[in-house]
Homo-oligomer: A and B are copies of this chain.
Amino acid sequence: MQTFVKNLASMVGQEVEVKGWLYNKRSSGPIAFLELRDGSGWVQAVAAKSELDPVVWEEIEKSTQESSVVVTGKVAKHPKKATVFELQVINFKLLQLAHEYPIAHKEHGPDFLMENRHLWLRSKRQWAILRVRDAVITAIGEYLHKENFIKVDSPVFTPNACEGTTTLFPVPYFDLGTAYLSQSGQLYIEAAIASVGRCYDFGPVFRAEKSKTKRHLTEFWMMDAEAAFVEHEDNLKIQEGLVRYIIRYCLTNCQEELKILERNTEPLEKADKPFTRYTYDEAIKKLNELGSDIKYGEDLGNDDEGLLTKDSQVPVFIEKWPKSIKPFYMKRDSVNSDLVLNDDLIAIEGAGEIIGGSQREEDYELLLSRIKAEELNEEDYQWYLDLRKYGSVPHSGFGIGLERMVRWITGVEHIRECIPFPRTIGRLRP
């Protein structure tokens, strides 16, 4: 019966069968050190020629990197490291002898690795990122359900372009003309809150952006949350609660993964405290003091985000932006109607924006005037306007880009490592 590596700690002295792959092999004369991976974890198996059938020893000797194997062994504590366990090999079965593996344990160029993404995923580092990604997804679902949100999936095929068509992917759609691949499900879950109160979607969204930066993918995962009767202040509380929950969840459940990634976890531990808040106005002033030449009314660039957070131990909210640079659906600030009740949440350590959120305009006339002012097609938004005609309520929401969150938690540089099969302007394979 198969035993998972992650369960070995509780089985010291027992004989177990581990099924997996040979990640690495070092031989020292009649002793072989086999590094095994079974998906749940990594373990060293120690094989002594003198204690094994010659046929078994021969199998070990001929096994290559990434060969699939079944190893029977006795679980032992590592002689020197208290929390490490190893296998003393009793039997070894080679399932399939791997051909010469293209990804050796050395540096490869990114193009080569991306071309071999289906194999690259097996590396220790990619394994760790995949598992942190799963933990972030799980943490988001857990927290939101605790906060009375349910999952309501928004559609990918949408009839119109919410925020201009330049970065949309068009798809011919039967006799109905053109469908566009969704860039955000927000408008749809705004409809659903009048049914279920609080909900979120979580799925792939698409941007035909011709950007080649380290932060851009054409297909990425987005979580949009929306809540009825939640106003700006509480919207920020939910966002902060969620981000701190994600941090705690990953620190608790991904210790091994973060160690493999050589992630210094201290900044994450320290980030689990009340977040800093600046108004947009304060942020611009502070940036100017710090030497940025950003002007009031401009969006923050990556450099600005980095500058603003460089001395902060916690993520920073920037709230109440000029309405001129934000989408039509954001609610105006009652104190200063040139501003909207929105927020961007900037992570620390140069990881940039991880959340964008806002209270939404719930007044029919004001919303309509914004749609007209931005020269959007009123017809396209008729159903969205309906939500303000039939029982409109104060409501707010926010969106998290999954890969950006994973990038921050893992500390990896390039977003393409934060999604299993990245799609960029120049990559559609494998």
Q: How close is A187's CB to chain B, nearest CB, in angstroms? A: 9
Knowing A101-B390, A174-B425, A420-B152 touch, does A121 contact B19 (C-beta < 8 A)? no
Kindly supply a per-residue 1/0 record for chain A positions 135-153, scoring 1 wherever the CB is within 8 Å of any chain B CB and 0 otherwise.
0011001000100101111
**Cβ of A130: which chain B residues have Cβ within 8 Å of it?**
150, 152, 192, 195-196, 199
Instruction: Indicate whether A173 reaches chain B with its CB closer than 8 angstroms.
Output: yes
Seed contacts A116-B386, A130-B192, A169-B172; 12 additional CB < 8 Å A-B pairs: A4-B148, A39-B148, A40-B148, A66-B390, A68-B391, A96-B362, A121-B195, A130-B152, A153-B204, A157-B428, A159-B430, A173-B428
**Cβ of A317: which chain B residues have Cβ within 8 Å of it?**
none
**Interface pair A131/B150, CB less than 8 Å apart:** yes
Instruction: Indicate whether A56 reaches chain B with its CB closer than 8 angstroms.
Output: no
Instruction: Indicate whether A38 reaches chain B with its CB closer than 8 angstroms.
Output: yes
**Interface pair B391/A429, CB less than 8 Å apart:** no
Could you tell me the distance between the alpha carbons of A152 and B195 in the complex, rounded to whole angstroms?
Answer: 31
**Interface pair B389/A99, CB less than 8 Å apart:** yes
**Interface pair B121/A179, CB less than 8 Å apart:** no
**Cβ of A188: which chain B residues have Cβ within 8 Å of it?**
118, 420-421
Interface positions of A from 51 to 104, Cβ below 8 Å from B: 66-68, 95-96, 98-99, 101
Instruction: Indicate whether A419 reaches chain B with its CB closer than 8 angstroms.
Output: yes
**Cβ of A228: which chain B residues have Cβ within 8 Å of it?**
19-20, 39
A/B interface sample: 17 pairs, CB < 8 A: A39-B194, A39-B195, A66-B194, A99-B389, A118-B191, A119-B194, A130-B150, A130-B192, A153-B221, A153-B421, A157-B218, A170-B172, A174-B210, A174-B425, A174-B426, A176-B428, A188-B420
**Cβ of A428: which chain B residues have Cβ within 8 Å of it?**
157-159, 173, 176, 179
Q: How close is A54's CB to chain B, nearest CB, in angstroms? A: 24
The count of residues in chain A whose C-beta lies closer than 8 Å to any C-beta of chain B is 95
Instruction: Indicate whether A112 reaches chain B with its CB closer than 8 angstroms.
Output: no
**Interface pair A197/B39, CB less than 8 Å apart:** yes
Could you tell me the distance between the alpha carbons of A45 and B121 in the complex, rounded to whole angstroms?
Answer: 56
